[in-house]
């Protein structure tokens, strides 16, 4: 293997690290050692660590360059990174040493780490998956980097007032982000707005010119991504929008200097705030500009790097792969065409070949309301040349479709990039499909539905390009770092190989019958439960027993995820105890966490409902020692790291056919929780791996749901009439037993659950859910049995490491290789 000429100077021993940390306190923070608080020490350590990461980043870059490696660029509008310091230390295997160093200096490293704000540049699953992918790519020594937006404000922070969610701005950079590197030397200029003037070349060729555009500058910030073991350091490159120096000359010439500056400042809005998607943001001009900004910055950066080593764009796709994380960066297809055709004067057909060979698209949701569409008029205003190109792509594509299916104008209409229903809109999913050589879903079931439900026409046309890549999570953050007690036990049992090869945990199977190991495993779980219990007590003043079942649902609040079904079960248990004296065998602590989109009324009401039920259940003397309900506010990566290791029972209860994959489900099971779940998303594959004895499956299958909904034959009233339990629970809501001070507050829920168009079919799954919860109660009472099931869950989750997922993408889509030092 070729070597880098760059040599590493910074040593990772106690002496050099200590000296560097002290130096940074003085020279970077301008403080005297005695005056440094936890936060200062965190910064100094981050800077000392950054020095080391940067050296390795340069080496990694040289390694890739020397072999002219093909690189993969992950384009994503979101990255839900979570805290970076502890994770990087962990991957550099420096945690123990730094803990020691800090102890000697009189600081507690855990507290120092806790002073870092979570960079929350994402909403949920999609953004967190991107972060896990980056960790795995670096660990596998693969040339794969992330491209995104350097939002000034991340996902809103959630606070709860009287049971209602309030949103607060998340100014996460307040304290700075010491691990990142600003790269103003690599800034790029991005044009926006303006008009297209049709001109002709001297040779008589048609030459459209995009003119009179405004421009903004994209300034990259690199966050080093170190793989486990520290050999490879890739980066996440986030672009911040900065005003260009060019004034709007028209305003300027009129002497209105201040207004000209103001226009410039406004252009910096582009990277100001992350949209809380899951609320509909389509139609918002700023969001469209964000999407283009990401794509345009990313492509400029990539083509510049390509041109430094190549001059022939015919070979572009041999060196560059771009993965489109959902349709948000789908304009990549158009921007790359514009670059090749307009700027490089490459023939359309050739350019299209290059573009399709470069791009690949991942779909992340089946909800029809989540499929992006942009109005033609908005596109025309913001990106006039791109709209022309979209029309040209569409014209050529539909010509092919029409030739293949003569007379089938319905098909042509369905496959068109432009919908004509109402005002004209561009369907971004169709654009992403047409412009990519690969289209994948994120679990086996989801990928099947991508073919049959979302894109049947496109699948028929090009079946070969549709494929599945089941999601995963990185075991470094989600086991090694977040659950050190269990991680140590696992390493003692099977060796530390599991950290980079999760399938090794299979060896634990042999320990599932070993009572000594079972005791140790459950002791680790209990320790984590005590820790979470203390946290709940200190933040919510709710006392929870670590001997109760920790039954947890932590994820975005959304009707399809059915937090409501969970609440109905709590109400059911409450009624059983209070009205019938039927006590469960094991006490339970129900824990919820998750944010609702700010404009999503129902989701916000569900948060209120959880709090109202908690008030009643936690304070009734008959139930307070048997049931506890806690809603932990402001769910984010750092909280997930506390919550997940403490879980006994993980709630994965979406209506079958709605959750594309889920990744929280994997994190919980990996940490020894059992799952109560529907036959949906990746639950299906988890069940397959852990075995049905170790998974609490309930509810309708996707086919049954689909059949019922398409036949409009769901009759929730009949279900209600036939079930005493449902009548009791809904009756209790109507009698205001959970809203004694606010009559009819939750009546809407009863109305909705009983409506024939209730698309998530809560009541259809209710009985099956309650019965299965009964089995959980029974099994938990047998400590030995539960321990065995929990161990087998951890043991059999090897498939769900993103290391496996990344290997599959690398081989099946990107054609990139590990480049080891």
Q: Which residues are catalytic?
A: 364, 555-556, 561, 663, 667
Of the pair 126, 632, the CB lying nearest ligand 26V is at 126
For residue 768, the minimal CB distance to ligand 26V (Å) is 22
Provide the b/e sequence for 301-337 (b: ≥16 CB within 10 Å).
bbbebbeeebeebeebbebbbbbbbbbbbbbbbbbbb
Which residue, 612 or 663, has its beta carbon nearer to ligand 26V? 663
Shortest distance in whole angstroms from residue 370 CB to ligand 26V? 3
72 with 321: CB under 8 angstroms?
Answer: yes
Query: Based on C-alpha coordinates, what's the Rg of the chain?
Result: 27
CB atoms within 10 A of CB 11: 12
Taking CB under 6 A as the binding criterion, the range among 405-413, 614-622, 661-669, 752-760 that sits at the site for ligand 26V is 661-669
DSSP 67: T
Closer to ligand 26V by Cβ: residue 311 or 369: 369
Q: Which of 67, 197, 280, 585 binds ligand 26V (CB under 6 A)?
A: 280
Q: Where are the alpha helices (DSSP H) in 495-562?
A: 515-540
Nearer to ligand 26V, 283 or 774 (CB): 283
634 near ligand 26V (CB under 6 A): no
Fill in the DSSP letter of residue 58: H
Comparing CB distances to ligand 26V, the nearer of 442 and 792 is: 442
Of the residues 278, 291, 335, 559, which one makes contact with ligand 26V according to CB under 6 A: 278
Q: Are 635 and 627 in contact (CB under 8 A)?
A: no
The token pair that represents 419 in the structure block: 């919908």
Query: Which residues is 125 bridged to in the sheet?
Result: none
Q: Report which residue's Cβ sits closest to ligand 26V.
A: 125
* Contact pattern from residue 349 through residue 388 relative to ligand 26V, giving x for each residue in contact according to CB under 6 A and a dash for the rest: ---------------xx-x-xx------------------
d(CA 261, CA 774): 66
Return the number of the residue (117 or 561) whose C-beta is nearest ligand 26V.
561
From the CB of 557, what's the least distance to ligand 26V, in Å? 11
The contacts of residue 231 (CB under 8 Å, 6+ apart) are 56, 141, 820, 821
Taking the complex as a whole, the smallest distance from the CB of residue 455 to ligand 26V amounts, in Å, to 17
Q: How far is CA 138 from CA 9, 655, 820, in A?
A: 21, 35, 11
Q: Which is nearer to ligand 26V, 17 or 121 (CB)?
A: 121
Q: Which string of x and - marks every residue 29-68 that binds ligand 26V (by CB under 6 A)?
A: ----------------------------------------
Per-residue interface string for the shown chain with ligand 26V, residues 400-439, x marking contact by CB under 6 A:
----------------------------------------
Closer of 46 and 158 to ligand 26V (Cβ): 158
Closest approach of Cβ 427 to ligand 26V, in Å?
Answer: 15
- What is the rounded distance in angstroms from the CA atom of residue 540 to the CA atom of residue 566? 21
Nearest approach, Cβ of 269 to ligand 26V (angstroms)? 22
Nearer to ligand 26V, 56 or 446 (CB): 446
Quick one: tokens of 286? 């700023």
CB 125 to ligand 26V: min, Å: 3
Place of tokens 């060796």: 495
Hey, is 722 helix, strand or coil?
helix
For tokens 């480049």, name the residue: 819
Mark residues 678-707: x for contact with ligand 26V by CB under 6 A, - for none.
---x--------------------------
| Minimum separation from the CB atom of position 631 to ligand 26V (A) | 21
> Which residue in 216, 223, 660, 764 binds ligand 26V (CB under 6 A)?
660
CA distances from 787 to 522, 546, 665, 798 (A): 6, 15, 19, 19
User: Any contact of residue 677 with ligand 26V (CB under 6 A)?
Assistant: no
Exposure of 583 by Cβ count < 10 A (0-12 exposed, 13-18 middle, 19+ buried)? middle
**Closest Cα to residue 294, out of 148, 444, 429, 144?**
148
Measured distance CA(465)–CA(202) in Å, rounded = 41
Q: Judge whether 458 and 415 are in contact, CB under 8 Å.
A: yes
How many C-alpha atoms does 108 have within 13 Å on its Cβ side?
A: 4
Beta bridge partners of 591: 552, 630
User: How is residue 250 written in tokens?
Assistant: 């028209």
| Torsion, Cα of 195, 200, 206, 212 (10° steps) | -10
Q: How many residues bind ligand 26V (CB under 6 A)?
A: 21
CB nearer to ligand 26V: give 525 or 556.
556
Helices 38-66 and 95-105: angle between axes, nearest 10 degrees: 150
Q: Are 793 and 509 contacting, i.e. CB atoms less than 8 angstroms apart?
A: no
**CA 679/CA 681 separation, integer angstroms:** 7
Q: Report the Cα 792 to chain-centroid distance in Å.
A: 27
Nearer to ligand 26V, 197 or 367 (CB): 367
Q: Which of 238, 806, 117 is nearest to 473 (CA)?
A: 806
Residue 277 sits in the site that holds ligand 26V (CB under 6 A) = yes
Residue 129, interface with ligand 26V (CB under 6 A)? yes
Stretch binding ligand 26V (CB under 6 A), from 132-140, 268-276, 336-344, 658-666 = 658-666
Could you tell me which residues come within 8 angstroms of residue 422 by beta carbon, excluding any fewer than 6 positions away? none
Nearest approach, Cβ of residue 26 and ligand 26V (Å): 44
Stretch that binds ligand 26V, among 63-71, 113-121, 570-578, 655-663 (CB under 6 A): 655-663
Does 730 sit near ligand 26V (CB under 6 A)? no
Q: Structure tokens of 703?
A: 């086919």
Q: With contact defined as beta carbons under 8 Å apart, do 435 and 407 qualify?
A: no
Tell me: does residue 661 bind ligand 26V (CB under 6 A): yes
Distance CA(597)–CA(601), nearest Å, equals 8
Task: Among 42, 119, 125, 645, indicate the residue that binds ligand 26V (CB under 6 A).
Answer: 125
Enter the tokens of residue 463: 């079946």
Instruction: Indicate the residue among 447 and 788 with the shorter CB distance to ligand 26V.
Output: 447
Burial class for 819, CB neighbours closer than 10 Å (0-12, 13-18, 19+): buried
Q: How far apart are the first and last CA of the chain?
A: 7
Of 224-232, 660-668, 739-747, 758-766, which part binds ligand 26V (CB under 6 A)?
660-668
**Residues contacting 612, CB < 8 A, separation 6+:** 163, 738, 739, 745, 746
Of 301-340, binders to ligand 26V (CB under 6 A) are 326
Closest separation in Å from C-beta 324 to ligand 26V: 13
Give yes or no for residue 124 binding ligand 26V (CB under 6 A).
yes
* Sole binder of ligand 26V in the list 295, 322, 442, 552 (CB under 6 A): 442
Question: Which range binds ligand 26V by CB under 6 A, 120-128, 167-175, 304-312, 683-691?
Answer: 120-128
The stretch near ligand 26V (CB under 6 A) out of 176-184, 227-235, 272-280, 478-486 is: 272-280
Measured from the CB of residue 446, what is the shortest distance to ligand 26V in angstroms? Answer: 8
Beta strands 214-226 and 181-182 are antiparallel
Pick 129 or 289: Cβ nearer ligand 26V = 129
Binder of ligand 26V out of 18, 76, 438, 471 (CB under 6 A): 471
Helix (H/G/I), strand (E/B), else coil: 321: strand
Cα–Cα nearest to 657, from 328, 438, 368, 427: 368
* Smallest separation, CB 338 to ligand 26V (Å): 27
In the complex, the smallest distance separating the C-beta of residue 661 from ligand 26V, rounded to whole angstroms, is 4
What is the binding site for ligand 26V (CB under 6 A)?
Answer: 124-126, 129, 277-278, 280, 326, 364-365, 367, 369-370, 442, 471, 659-663, 681
């Amino acid at each position: 293997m070729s070597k880098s000429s760059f040599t590493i100077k910074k040593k990772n021993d106690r002496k050099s690290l200590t000296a560097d940390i002290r130096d940074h306190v003085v020279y970077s923070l301008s403080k005297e050692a005695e005056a440094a608080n936890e936060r200062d020490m965190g910064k100094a350590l981050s800077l000392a660590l950054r020095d080391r990461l940067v050296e390795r980043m340069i080496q990694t870059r040289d390694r890739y360059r020397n072999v002219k490696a093909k690189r993969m660029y992950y384009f994503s509008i979101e990255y839900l990174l979570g805290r970076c310091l502890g994770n990087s230390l962990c991957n550099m295997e420096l945690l123990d040493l730094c803990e020691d160093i800090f102890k000697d200096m009189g600081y507690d490293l855990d507290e120092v780490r806790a002073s870092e704000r979570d960079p929350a540049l994402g909403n949920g699953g999609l953004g967190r998956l991107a972060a896990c992918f980056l960790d795995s790519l670096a660990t596998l020594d693969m040339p794969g980097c992330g491209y995104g937006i350097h939002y000034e404000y991340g996902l809103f922070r959630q606070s709860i007032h009287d049971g209602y969610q309030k949103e607060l701005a998340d100014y996460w950079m307040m304290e700075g982000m010491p691990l990142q590197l600003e790269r103003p030397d690599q800034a790029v200029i991005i044009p926006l707005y303006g008009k297209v003037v049709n001109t002709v070349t001297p040779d008589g060729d048609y030459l459209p010119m995009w003119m009179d555009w405004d421009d903004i500058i994209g300034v990259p910030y690199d966050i080093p991504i170190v793989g486990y073991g520290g050999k490879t350091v890739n980066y996440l490159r986030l672009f911040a929008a900065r005003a260009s120096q060019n004034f709007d000359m028209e305003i300027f010439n009129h002497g209105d200097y201040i207004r000209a500056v103001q226009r410039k400042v406004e252009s910096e809005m582009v990277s100001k705030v992350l949209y809380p998607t899951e609320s509909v943001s389509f139609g918002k001009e700023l969001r469209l500009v964000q999407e283009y900004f990401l794509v345009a910055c990313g492509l400029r950066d990539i083509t510049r790097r390509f041109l430094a080593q190549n001059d022939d764009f015919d070979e572009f796709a041999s060196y560059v792969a771009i993965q489109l994380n959902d349709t948000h960066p789908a304009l990549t297809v158009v921007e790359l065409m514009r670059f090749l055709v307009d700027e490089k004067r490459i023939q359309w057909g050739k350019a299209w070949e290059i573009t399709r060979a470069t791009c690949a698209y991942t779909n992340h949701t089946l909800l029809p309301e989540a499929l992006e569409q942009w109005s033609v008029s908005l596109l025309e205003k913001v990106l006039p040349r791109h709209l022309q190109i979209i029309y040209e792509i569409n014209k050529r594509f539909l010509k092919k479709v029409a030739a293949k299916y003569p007379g089938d104008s319905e098909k042509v209409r369905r496959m068109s990039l432009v919908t004509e229903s109402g005002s004209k809109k561009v369907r971004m999913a169709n654009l992403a499909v047409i412009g990519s050589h690969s289209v994948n879903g994120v679990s086996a079931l989801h990928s099947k539905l991508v073919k049959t439900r979302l894109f049947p026409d496109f699948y028929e046309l090009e079946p070969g390009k549709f494929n599945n890549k089941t999601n995963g999570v990185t075991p470094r953050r989600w086991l090694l770092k977040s659950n050190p007690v269990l991680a140590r036990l696992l390493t003692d049992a099977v060796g530390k190989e599991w950290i980079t090869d999760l399938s090794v945990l299979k060896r634990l199977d042999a320990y599932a019958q070993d009572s000594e190991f079972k005791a140790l495993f459950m002791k680790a779980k209990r320790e984590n439960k005590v820790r979470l219990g203390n946290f709940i007590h200190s933040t919510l003043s709710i006392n929870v027993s670590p001997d109760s079942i920790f039954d947890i649902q932590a994820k975005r609040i959304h009707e399809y995820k059915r937090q409501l079904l969970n609440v109905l079960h709590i109400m059911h248990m409450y009624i059983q105890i209070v009205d019938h004296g039927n006590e469960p065998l094991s006490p339970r602590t129900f824990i919820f966490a998750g944010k609702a989109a700010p404009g999503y009324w129902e989701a916000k009401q569900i948060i209120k409902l959880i709090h109202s039920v908690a008030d009643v259940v936690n304070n009734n003397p008959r139930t307070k020692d048997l049931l506890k309900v806690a809603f932990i506010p402001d769910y984010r990566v750092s909280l997930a790291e506390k919550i997940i290791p403490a879980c006994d029972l993980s709630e994965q209860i979406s209506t079958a056919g709605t959750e594309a994959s889920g990744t929280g489900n994997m994190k919980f099971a990996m940490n020894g929780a059992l799952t109560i779940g529907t036959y949906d998303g990746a639950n299906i594959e988890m069940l397959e791996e852990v075995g049905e004895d170790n998974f609490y499956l309930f509810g309708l299958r996707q086919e049954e749901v689909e059949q019922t909904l398409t036949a409009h034959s769901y009759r929730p009233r009949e279900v209600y009439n036939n079930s005493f339990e449902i009548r009791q629970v809904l009756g209790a809501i109507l009698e205001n037993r959970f809203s004694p001070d606010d009559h009819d507050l939750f009546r809407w829920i009863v109305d909705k659950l009983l409506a024939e168009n209730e698309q998530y079919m809560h009541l259809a799954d209710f009985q099956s859910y309650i019965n299965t919860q009964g089995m959980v109660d029974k099994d938990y009472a047998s400590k030995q049995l539960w321990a065995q099931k929990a161990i087998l869950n951890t043991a059999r989750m090897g498939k769900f490491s993103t290391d496996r997922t990344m290997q599959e993408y690398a081989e099946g889509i990107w054609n990139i290789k590990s480049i080891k030092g």
